[in-house]
């Protein structure tokens, strides 16, 4: 059985080490515990260890799981959202990490308006240019922020990306540096700060922190391999 408490202690030490190397406070970094394919029982165990912020990437899975979890937990949607899932997503989640098109923004804004809700969102930026990944190009992301006054129910808090898979986390550094540069360009365009950078997963979160991540998304590092997770 995976020892979540022990894994969390090790992760917190690594977060602190990365923050120290970067001259940052560990309080600047939020850990999003990714519960994909893990049961509500495991989420409750993680909550007992002190975790309060969780991420899911499938709306249907979240609809079943979240009601069975402690009510004080916060939930971020970290997957790519289909427009036909927007209504459920805005009721389940406190932030959406992967706003990958203006079409999605339009639909979310409409659904949030109907629900009288303002939703914090992050723009997903495909900094690697990989065809398998969603998101704005770095150039189109800067242009997209100009459209946000048209979406009064959405609050743009920052940017999100995924680096290409690599067994060497140092290989992710150029992509995280690029996202930080895109954030600066977006802030210049907006004339306002964007406080959040969602980047870094189990294999590269330390480098992400060194490059300015404020939200890191960790699953297997905390919970163990997903192949061992029980089915919901």
| pLDDT tens for each residue of 111-163 | 999 999 999 999 999 999 888 889 999 999 999 999 999 999 999 999 999 99
Burial profile 100-136: b = 16 or more Cβ within 10 angstroms, e = fewer: bbbebbbbbbebbeeeeeebbbbbbbbbbeeeebbbb
Decide if 3 contacts 11 (C-beta within 8 A): no
Predicted TM-score of the model (pTM):
0.94
Whole-number mean pLDDT of the chain? 94
- CB count, 10 Å around CB of 97? 30
Query: Percent of the chain scored above 90 by pLDDT?
Result: 92
What pLDDT shows up at residue 227? 53
**Encoded tokens for 83:** 């427009």
Alpha carbons 65 and 220: distance in angstroms, whole number: 18
The answer on pLDDT for 2 being more than 60 is: yes
Decide if 55 contacts 35 (C-beta within 8 A): yes
Tens of pLDDT, residue by residue over 58-96, are 999 999 999 999 999 999 999 999 999 999 999 999 999
Tens of pLDDT, residue by residue over 203-215, are 999 999 999 999 9
What pLDDT shows up at residue 231? 40
* Domains of the chain, residue spans: 4-222
Domain 4-222, what fold?
TIM Barrel (3.20.20)
pLDDT grade for 228, boundaries at 50, 70 and 90: very low
The answer on pLDDT for 1 being more than 70 is: no
Helix axes 40-48, 4-22, angle to 10 degrees: 60
């Amino acid at each position: 059985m995976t020892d979540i408490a022990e894994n969390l202690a090790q992760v917190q030490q690594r977060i602190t080490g990365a923050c120290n190397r970067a001259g940052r406070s560990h309080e600047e970094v939020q850990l999003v515990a990714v519960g994909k394919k893990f049961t509500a029982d495991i989420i409750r165990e993680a909550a007992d260890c002190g975790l309060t912020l969780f991420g899911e990437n499938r709306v249907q899975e979240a609809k079943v799981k979240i009601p069975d979890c402690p009510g004080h937990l916060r939930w971020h949607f970290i997957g790519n959202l289909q427009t036909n899932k927007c209504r459920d997503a805005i009721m389940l989640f406190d932030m959406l990490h992967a706003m990958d098109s203006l079409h999605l923004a339009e639909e979310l804004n409409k659904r949030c308006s109907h629900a009288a809700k303002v939703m914090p969102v992050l723009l997903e930026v495909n900094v690697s240019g990989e065809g398998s990944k969603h998101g704005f190009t770095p150039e189109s992301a800067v242009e997209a922020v100009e459209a946000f006054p048209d979406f009064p129910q959405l609050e743009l808090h920052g940017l999100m990306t995924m680096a290409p898979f690599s067994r060497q986390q140092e290989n992710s550094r150029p992509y995280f540096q690029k996202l930080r540069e895109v954030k600066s360009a977006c802030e210049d365009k907006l004339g306002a700060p964007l406080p959040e950078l969602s980047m870094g997963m189990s294999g590269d979160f330390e480098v992400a922190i060194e490059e300015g991540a404020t939200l890191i998304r960790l699953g297997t590092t905390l919970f163990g391999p997903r192949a061992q997770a029980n089915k919901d």
